[in-house]
Structure 1
Amino acid sequence: MAKQTRFLGPQWTIWQVLFCFVSFSFRPVSCQLQYSIPEELKKGSVVGNVAKDLGLNVKELVLRKFQIVSHATKQYFSIHLENGDLIVSERIDREALCGAKPNCLLNLEAVIENPLNFYTISVEIQDVNDNAPTFSKKYFEIGISESSVPGVHFPLGNAQDPDQGTNSIQSYSLSNNEYFRLKEQTATDEKTTTDGIKYPEIILKKSLDREKQSFYELILTALDGGNPQKSSTATVKIVVQDFNDNLPLFTQDTYHIRLHENAAIGSIVIQLNATDEDEGSNAQITYSFSHISESARQLFTIDSLHGNIKVIGKLNYEAIDAYVITVEAKDGGGHVAHCKVSIQVVDVNDNAPDITITTLSTSIPEDSPPGTVIALLNVRDLDSGINSEVACHISDTLAFQLIPSSSSYYKLVTASSMDRERNPFYNVTIQCMDNGSPPLSTNKTFQLNISDVNDNSPVFEKMNYIVYIGENNQPGTSIQSVRATDLDCDENGKISYSILNSNVEEIPVSSYISINSISGVIYAQRSFDYEQLREFQFQVMAKDSGSPPLSSNVTVRICIIDKNDNAPKILYPSPDTEESALFEFIPHSAEKGYLVTKVIAVDADSGHNAWLSYHLLQVADPTLFTIGQYTGEIRIGRDLPDMESLRQMLVVLVKDNGVPCLSSTVTLNLVVADNFQQIIPEIKRQPNNSPVTSNTTFYLVIAIAFISLVFIMTVLITVIYKCRKTNSTRSFDAFNRNVYPQFTLGCPSEISDTSLPFPFSYDVCVTLDSKQNEIAYLKPVQNVPTDNLIDTENTTAANDSTNIDFPTHNIDQSVYCKVLFFKQCILDGTFLGYETS
């Protein structure tokens, strides 16, 4: 305990008493300070330095939220946070605050946080002489019988002074006169009751004579003991009456009453009864309040005839818990008697608990750990005793916990982890109930918002996306929309889309597609071609705008749908070949069903769009030739007519199965003859409106010539060797002959960059003597591997039908050889690697 004395302004004493208690269960520190100051101090007067007396750092007062809490109706004190002084903020009137209580204390609470400490500050208010004595009325009338003998005492109304001790009433004085006097001007000369109240009395000094003087007016003065001394006066009128020698008497000097604060208006507090032994008018007693406070006058009244004191207002224990009333009984002769009525107000449970939130967090992040302090509550009940005992609980005990910190303070903390996506806010209700009968309760509800943190990644609506788009689309067309959702809000839930870098056949995927970063709409950057690219896939990333950002990926697969955008391409006979090369030779001996040739076509499309069918578009005699609708084989439909030469021109239409369908045509010239010499005039009759050979024929002839030169040396050596061995004169001429050896050639593919993987043999036509018009047909090379051939059923028949010597009749030998070469490929079913059946 520390004791300290200070002198501030007008000298007064400040006592400081410091008691500290430590609660080990909740760890707040509770201390008590006591100061003593006089009343009526000016605003701003310093009571004491609380920070210094409590050992607190002044610089931490603001940071630690130091505050003074008073439960009085006015805030009489405040704290100066810059220096820690406790200063007076309202005028303090001890009499209005504490009334007649001998000790007047104001209790304050000092609260400081981080860590949480509580301090109790008691300020004793000392009395100063700021009130003059007052009489209950300014005019007193006393009737004195003329028969009164000198020395008789007549009590007067006493004065009241709300000050205490020496500042209260100390003496009375009476104006000078020859008939009356007060008792000696000392305490022993005045009548003092058991409760310490002094009542002045007039003493008759000599007998009165009503006929000489019927009344007297005297001045009664009440003096207090203050410095400077204060006083007040009242007029005492003495009326000389007929003889009345008995005073009214009460049964007791003081009446003690216990009255519940919920007493009904009109109920009787007490019925007073004073008696007078006189008779007649001198025995008729009237009752009145001799001294009553203004607050009590608003609550009580007295029946002047019967002495009943009744309740006329609403009592409030919390405002004033006791009343002292002086009652005067006056008989018909003017004699009075006094008694005191002490009314003690009994508390009833008429006040619900009061909940004050001193500190409140209206929002906390969802990642706040359990035990986070949300609010600091102060709970008080103005009732007393068991009626003021309060218990509090909260509505949501799973998410929050209410922890008592002291007798009147509670901490509201989180009991579990928060999840904004599950509960974005909580309506927290705190209910406090007292132990009165019946109990009263108070609810306090406030909303706690849970602020978002970025703890959820974007989630796509689908695990993966498969998109089908027709080829030949317009660039910039939207082909798909991907969408992801994020349970977070604001920036944490704002999603942007992007395509992860990857390649499609060594080409960046960004050259194929793009995505709107906000809407997630995917656009085609180019027109797709099913024949070049049938499908590809890539990944789309959805990323939120949180810090740090979270993302997720989804795979998008683009499938190109084929459209019928490619017409059939005829591989054989090639439309680019000169017309003289499109002749097909048919012997007269051919019968019905004879395979004349085969039209081969391909379509770059797929599925139904690539299903080809063959039709004869133009034919002179529809019954003479037939064509396989799905094979393209042209056969003789009936026996050939008996004629030397028959020339037919066929136009073959090849169309696919698309919608709409696309088609191509090729023209074939068919010649029926017994030998090759018969078809020469037909060939020569062909109009020659174009150069002798096309570029293709030119390159083919050069290639064949180049290959022939490679083999010619071998052939010449072989011929020379045979000529020496047979000594034939013809061997010498063999060196001047143009010999075309047999060789193997891989048929080029129209849809591939390389030759087919299998070889086939064909017969090379040569002239053994340039002077002769005969063409010798060399036999095919034997033992040619045919494992890889697609269709070899007609190989033998084709060889048999073509191993015939024909006269040249001055025809271009290279052209003729080319005709036989293509025909052999067709009949073998090995041209370009496609099966002809």
Structure 2
Amino acid sequence: MCKTTFHRNKLRTMAWQVLYLFLSFTFKAISGQIQFSIFEELKKGSVVGNIANNLSLNAKELSIRNFHIVSRAKTQHFSVNLENGDLLVSERIDRETLCGTEQNCFLNIEAVIEKPLHFYTLQVEIKDVNDNAPSFSKRSFDIGISESALPGDRFTLGHAQDPDLGTNSVQHYEIITNEYFSLSEKNSVDGTEPELVLERPLDREKQSSIELSIAAFDGGRPMRTGTALIKIVVLDVNDNYPVFSQETYQINLNENTPDNFVVLHLNASDEDEGSNAQITYSFSHISEDAGQLFKLDSKTGEITKIGKLDYETAKNYKITVEAKDGGGLAAHSKVLIQIVDSNDNAPEIQINSFTSIIPEDSPPGTIVALFNIQDLDSGENAEFVCEISKNVPFQLISLPNNYFKMVTSSSMDREVTCEYKISIMATDKGLPPLSTSKTIQLTISDVNDNAPVFEKPSYIAYVPENNPQGTSIHRINASDLDLNENGQIMYSIISNNTEDALVSSHVSINSGTGVVYALHSFDYEQIREFSFQVMARDSGSPPLNSSVTVRICIVDRNDNAPKILYPSLDSERTALFEFIPRYSTKGYLVTKVIAVDADTGHNAWLSYHFLQVPEPSMFTIGQHTGEIRISRDFQEVDSLKQKIVVLVKDNGDPSLTATVALNLVIAENFQVLPELNNQPIKLKTTSNITFFLVLAIAMISVLFILTVIVAVISKCKTSNTSSVFGTLNKGLYPQVALRCASECSDGTLPLPFPYEVCVAIDSSQNEFTYLRPVQNVPTDNLIDTDEHPNGNTCEKGPLCDSNIAQNGTVVASL
């Protein structure tokens, strides 16, 4: 009979397997979902399937596009070979651990591929293999059977457990053949339960105990078995069994229930009396996990929680309890404990893809990170809200399956903010709410978006003339907010010429430091100022540049001594004579020393002094005008010939000088006088001598007047310009050069500019009456400039006009 039953069960099991495979195949074909099926306990490295083929991807693209998988399980059971796209087993897979007694066991895998971003959901069906043998809850079962039991009575035994499914689970039971009992099987909600069937009456006096061995067989290949010992104690008459108040107890228990909490109080009763009515409680069948969570008081029947419950580990527990009276009769009841979820798990943030560095010119919508959030709780406790730090140029975009991508929401500027610390916070909706945060640091890389900026809008530098060659004139400095090569600045001169001269012949610039150097010594009298453009260019790609105007002003130094225009030192005569009428009185203007200085400013301020004078009390000289005047009336003892030396000194430091010697002759008229030997003037003589002397002077005067008239007539025929002094002063005023107000000047005329100068000997007249610029002299080099170090102001002024000299003035061409 047992063999027939076994074959019938086997045929039924095979039919169910064929139907299951057919339905699975049909479901996959209809749903179109990518699904793999494997058996549990495969070796590490076993191939599950080829993901590349199923996703219609080229295997070479997997590595390039950063293909990776994400499993929601705590243990990553699978990995992908990026070379061929095979999905491999990476950890031991135990279906019973993953899914328990559930018929269908699936592992969900989420695959992510970037560039562009896509994600896929894969299912791997874990099929059962016969890796577990049936096991009984106890190694031995103690059964008390009253001797009053009748043939045909049935005694339920604890069924064997096999976590495998289908044919791999328990299929049938067998016991050792004996004369008292046979084995029967009864179907229940938990499967097939074995029952002992009494075949003949028991006689305690002949045999007080019987031991049987029961075996449970599964349907796997190879077949596995489990055994237990049945100890039957023949009891005295006890004809009432304990009875539970409920056949099945159902309890809902919060997972955060405290320890030592009484979960259930069992209640069983027995109508017998005495020891046959004394009931003890015990767990008839309880899993190993539940045995660590619950404790049963054998006397009171209280089930107490002693361990930590975790809804995410197990959602319910099934326990079989037994109530046995003193006579050995026992009753069984089911206790179903349903664990109610509490909000004890905060959301978990898993970063799947993160770009830690992005350029500052990244457009809005650039993907920064891809992450997934899971909450192991259920219901409202598993719902969450995700947000990121405020006031950052990023935003979250929600994707299916609790995925989020963080993208840029606006343009960025590294020079304002070079890095961001972004906090991602997920908060569930439980009571109280739990939250998790994770911070990522994003660095903004530099691009060349800033041109160099100069410290000043323009530069002006003052260089004293006669500077050594290679002197550093000025430093041009520019800054760039960019980094590295984008901020490395090179300087160059971009103007080529000024005043018909190449800038490169005057100055050069250090391309690295921006220091401007003079290539030669400057001469103020040749060049007053020049300007050029300096360009600062960074080393970015493409490079950016900016330019600035640099103006160089040459500062005058006292390197030119005064030049005496009158009396002329170029005269062929070695001695210069000035006529002084004998009747001259105090304050009479004897002559005027005229000098110029090629320098400017203070260096061109001239002063006149006597260097040598016989009688200091006779003559005075204007310190600033150079006018020599008589300081007192002539006396009889005064010499008729006076020699004085005039010193002309400029105001430079150190000052430079020039000297001129003058011979002054005291006489009655302009006639050429004989050589005098410093004879004193005798004003009082005898009457005869006076008469002859007056007569002689009158004759000489007439002759002198006639000579002068002849000379004047002759001179007018040959020259349009006459001199007051006639032949005595012929050639006395040479061609000279004076200075007129010009750019970066204080009013002193530079020598390179020729003018006609009209100079009055008498200071009561204008010292410089008329000036006329000589034709074809360039004046376009007069440029505006900034304030000079010596206090001069650069300005453009009109040049002087020129007229013919009048009223006894001396005309000099300049």
Query: TM-score higher than 0.5 here?
Result: yes
- Give the match for residue 565 of structure 1: 559
Q: Is the 8 A contact 1:156 1:202 kept in 2?
A: no
> What are the residue-to-residue correspondences of 1:8-27 with 2, within 5 Å?
15=25
1:351, distance to aligned residue in structure 2 (A): 1.6
Q: 1:115 to 1:614 in 2, by over 3 A?
A: closer
After TM superposition, give the deviation of residue 199 of structure 1 in Å. Answer: 3.2
Q: Relative to structure 1, is the Cα distance of residues 252 and 126 closer, same or farther in structure 2, using a 3 angstrom cutoff?
A: farther
CA contact (8 A) 2:134 2:217 kept: yes
Q: Pairwise mapping of residues 204-223 of structure 1 onto structure 2 (< 5 A)? A: 205-210=200-205, 212-223=206-217
Map of 1:121 onto structure 2? 122
* Residue 596 to residue 295, structure 1, CA distance change in 2 (3 Å): same
Q: CA deviation at 1:325?
A: 1.4
1:790 partnered with 2:791: no
Q: How does 1:719-758 map to 2 (within 5 A)?
A: 747-750=734-737, 757=756
Structure 2 residue runs of 5 or longer lacking an equivalent are 1-19, 680-713, 718-726, 739-750, 760-765, 772-804
**Aligned-pair CA distance for 1:502:** 3.1
Which residue does 1:729 correspond to in 2? Answer: none
Between the aligned partners of 2:588 and 2:513, the Cα distance in structure 1 is: 67
SS in 2 for 1:134: coil
Aligned-pair CA distance for 1:292 = 1.6
Which amino acid is the alignment partner of residue 39 of structure 1? E
Aligned partner of 2:444 in structure 1 is 450
Partner of 1:625: 619
- Paired residue for 1:411? 405
Q: Deviations over 1:334-374 (max 9, x none)?
A: 22222222222122222222221211111111111111111
Deviation, 1:456, is 0.9
Following the alignment from structure 2 to structure 1, what is the Cα–Cα distance between the partners of residues 769 and 228? 148
**Alpha-carbon spacing, 1:411–1:67, altered in 2? closer, same or farther (3 Å):** same
Q: What is the CA–CA distance in structure 1 between the aligned matches of 2:405 and 2:30, rounded to whole Å?
A: 21
TM-superposed CA distance for 1:644, in Å, is: 11
Change over 3 Å in CA distance of 1:242–1:365 after alignment to 2: same
Letter of the structure 2 residue corresponding to residue 829 of structure 1? T
Does the CA-based 8 Å contact 1:595-1:633 persist in structure 2?
yes
Give the gaps of 5 or more residues in structure 1. Answer: 1-10, 22-30, 184-188, 686-714, 719-739, 761-786, 793-824
Partner of 1:136: 137
- The yes-or-no answer on 1:199 pairing with 2:179 is no
Offset of 1:746 from its aligned partner?
9.2
Q: Does the 8 Å contact 1:16/1:34 carry over to 2?
A: no
Q: Cα gap change, 1:758/1:744 in structure 2, threshold over 3 Å: closer, same or farther?
A: farther
Please tell me whether the aligned partners of residues 567 and 664 of structure 1 are also in contact (alpha carbons under 8 angstroms): yes
Q: Identify the residue that residue 385 of structure 2 maps to in structure 1.
A: 391
> 1:435 — aligned with what?
429
- Find the counterpart in structure 2 of residue 337 from structure 1: 331
How far 1:20 sits from its partner (Å)? 10
Q: Which amino acid aligns with 1:748?
A: Q
- What SS class does the counterpart of residue 239 from structure 1 fall into? strand
Q: 1:131 to 1:759 in 2, by over 3 A?
A: closer
Alignment correspondent of 1:181: 181
For residues 165 and 43 of structure 2, what CA distance do their matches in structure 1 show? Answer: 21
Report the aligned-residue RMSD.
3.5
Conserved in 2, the CA contact under 8 Å of 1:745 and 1:759? no
Amino acid at match of 1:655: K
CA distance, structure 2, for counterparts of residue 827 and residue 626 of structure 1: 24
Partner of 2:185: 190
Change (3 A) 1:147 1:218: same
Match of 1:293 among 287, 290, 293: 287
AA in 2 matched with 1:546: G
Where 1:445 maps in the other structure, the secondary structure is: strand
Query: In the alignment, what sits opposite 1:692?
Result: none
Match of 1:670 among 636, 659, 664: 664
Normalising by the residue count of structure 1, what TM-score does the alignment of the two structures yield?
Answer: 0.76
Q: State the alpha-carbon separation in 1 of the partners of residues 753 and 113 from structure 2.
A: 92
What's the CA shift string for 1:398-441, capped at 9, x where partnerless? 62221112131122111111111122122222222223233322
Match of 1:313 among 291, 300, 307: 307
Match of 2:743 in 1: none
How far off is 1:598 after superposition?
2.2
The amino acid that maps onto 1:358 is N
Deviation at 1:19, TM superposition (A): 8.2
3-state SS of 1:350 partner: coil
Deviation at 1:454, TM superposition (A): 0.8
Number of aligned residue pairs: give it: 698
Secondary structure (helix, strand or coil) at the match of 2:227 reads: strand
Deviation at 1:301, TM superposition (A): 1.4
Per the alignment, in what secondary structure is the counterpart of residue 65 of structure 1?
coil
Tell whether the 8 Å contact from 2:425 to 2:438 is kept in structure 1 after alignment.
yes
Match of 1:615 in 2: 609
In the other structure, the counterpart of 1:818 is none
Counterpart in 2 of 1:829? 809
Q: Per-residue deviation at 1:453?
A: 0.8
Q: Do 2:448 and 2:540's aligned partners in 1 also have CA atoms closer than 8 Å?
A: yes
Identity of aligned residues (%): 58
Partner of 2:692: none
**Contact 2:489–2:512 at 8 Å: present in 1 too?**
yes
Pair 160,407 (structure 1): closer, same or farther in 2 beyond 3 Å: closer
Corresponding residue for residue 261 of structure 1: 255
8 A contact 1:748–1:756 mirrored in 2 = no
Aligned equivalent of 1:711: none
Residues 16 and 461 (structure 1), Cα distance of their counterparts in 2 relative to 1, 3 Å cut: farther
Indicate the residue corresponding to 1:32 in structure 2: 33
CA shift, 1:756, in A, is 5.0
Shift of residue 115 of structure 1?
4.2
Shift of 1:169: 2.0
Report the alpha carbon displacement of residue 650 of structure 1 after superposing the two structures with TM.
0.4
Q: TM-score, normalised by structure 2?
A: 0.78
In the alignment, is the contact (CA less than 8 A) between 1:597 and 1:826 conserved in 2? no
Cα deviation 1:526-567 (Å, max 9, x = unaligned): 443333333222222222111111111122222333333333
Secondary structure in 2 aligned to 1:661?
coil
Amino acid at match of 2:126: I
